[in-house]
Homo-oligomer: A and B are copies of this chain.
């Protein structure tokens, strides 16, 4: 029998990410994707059930990749400061290295597909993160707080910064460029806010 051409599947995935990132979810279509990937529309339906399945599958894949990248070299038993800083650096590096994947992901996060994505991500998240915050509380490094409050204070600022970078210009119209020193400055604020 004939084998699957893994290059084709990869082309479909890559083009889908690129198209959504560049033209938005609202302009993404199967026929268009097929043409861009150099593939028949029917071929896409060998790999994916339908349009929704394609988008959710890819976004979950990318989400897992991003989470894994964020936790690379992360030691759950490290000090809170060090642990969080590793995550910040990893996450920023991933976004800068995978601009389109990050943009694709952000688009899906704000669409009607968001519900289906959350499960896969929260699972991965819970596994590796749960104990880290708990430990930091036990050791008296940070105050006890609901997980939502923690996430909002600890990560939302980083995501916002990355977003400013991707958009290329800031709130007041001037240019804005992400840098390690900007990240460090923001991190210091966040850490101070969370610390006892």
Contact = CB atoms under 8 A, between A and B. Distances in A.
| Chain A interface residue bracket vs B | 35 or more
A185 interface: yes
Interface string A141-179: 000011111011101111111001001011111001000
A193 interface: yes
A107 interface: yes
Given A125-B171, A153-B190, A189-B153, A111 B25 contact: yes
A118 B153 contact: no
Contacts of A172: 122, 125-126, 130, 147
Number of copies: 2
Specify which of A107, A110, A111, A192 lies most central, judged by the most chain B CB atoms within 10 Å of its CB: A110
Contact of A157 (B156, B171, B182, B191): B156
Contacts of A148: 160-161, 164, 170-171, 176, 182
A189 B193 CA distance: 4
A186 B152 contact: yes
Contact of A147 (B112, B113, B171): B171
A169 B117 CA distance: 13
Contacts of A193: 153, 189-194
